Amino acid sequence: MKISLFSIFALAMLVVAACDNDSSNDKGEKKHPTDPLAKISPDVYLMKMWGQMGKKSDCFISKNFSLKPDPKNKLSEHLIGPLKEGYEKGCAFWKALEPVTAPVFQRVVREGTVPPSTYFFTKFEGDGEKKYSQDKIGLFDNLETCQKFETRYQGFGEGTGRCREWKDPLKAALKAFRSKTPPIAN
């Protein structure tokens, strides 16, 4: 079958037109829904997203885990079993976390600010090259609940920072800046 240059050009134009993301030609302006939490506090929004992503990934992997130990290789039994168990424990952790933190996130949206006396902890994960990610987990209504989840997360063999009371990083930075800046004399 012989394809003409015109056919290739026409096909390319159709593909480009189909991939065009410009919605300015639409009669109604399309807006993507955004979580109001992202506008109130990007850091708190990230905490919510970490919880959702952790739950989705660990639960998906544990549900669809397909590695089977090789009966001829005893070492594989010692590696694969704990790996699957780790994903199952992670899934259980994130599932238990969600109903505890969801009301706090809803309260933040309802009040338009992060309420005082809310807590979080930081998890540390290494990537094998002496680099660590620091992700915050929370928000919790009280210190005791935060400590309970922190201890549970440490049970995975991961490092955590202690539970701390939430302070808005932008407000804290502004306050620190103001305390170091001398007043302007008139």
Q: What is the mean pLDDT of residues 175-181?
A: 67
Q: Is residue 171 part of a domain?
A: no
Q: What's the total number of domains in the chain?
A: 1
Domain extent, residue 42, equals 36-165
Q: Say what percent of the chain tops pLDDT 70.
A: 59
* Spatial CA neighbour of 62 closest among 50, 48, 80, 47: 80
**Residue 169 φ then ψ, to 5°:** -60, -35
Is 42 inside a domain boundary? yes
Whole-structure pTM over 0.85, yes or no?
no
Dihedral angle computed from the Cα positions of residues 164, 96, 54 and 150, in that order, rounded to the nearest 10 degrees:
30
Predicted confidence (pLDDT) per residue in 60-119, tens digit: 877 776 666 666 666 666 666 677 777 788 888 889 999 999 999 999 999 998 988 899
Q: 3-state class of 6 per DSSP? A: helix
- Residue at 1 is within a domain: no
The Cα–Cα gap between 124 and 135 comes to 7
Q: Is 66 exposed, middle or buried (0-12, 13-18, 19+ CB in 10 A)?
A: exposed
Cis amide prior to 11 (ω within 30 degrees)? no
Q: Is 6 exposed, middle or buried (0-12, 13-18, 19+ CB in 10 A)?
A: exposed
The answer as to whether 45 is a domain residue is yes
> 61 lies in a domain?
yes
- 185 lies in a domain? no
pLDDT of residue 1: 44
CA dihedral 45, 47, 52, 53 (to 10 degrees): 110
In angstroms and rounded to an integer, the radius of gyration of the C-alpha atoms of the chain is: 25
- Is 9 among the domain residues? no
Taking the alpha carbons of 93, 94, 100, 104 in that order, is the dihedral positive or negative? positive
**19-69 confidence digits (pLDDT tens):** 555 545 555 555 656 888 888 888 889 889 888 888 888 888 777 766 666
| Residue 81 domain flag | yes
Which stretches within 65-168 are classed as H helix?
Answer: 74-111, 143-154
What φ, ψ does residue 174 adopt, rounded to 5°?
A: -65, -40
Cα 47 to Cα 119: distance, rounded to the nearest angstrom: 11
Distance (Å) of CA 110 to CA 40, 92, 113? 10, 28, 8
Q: Specify the pLDDT at position 4.
A: 53
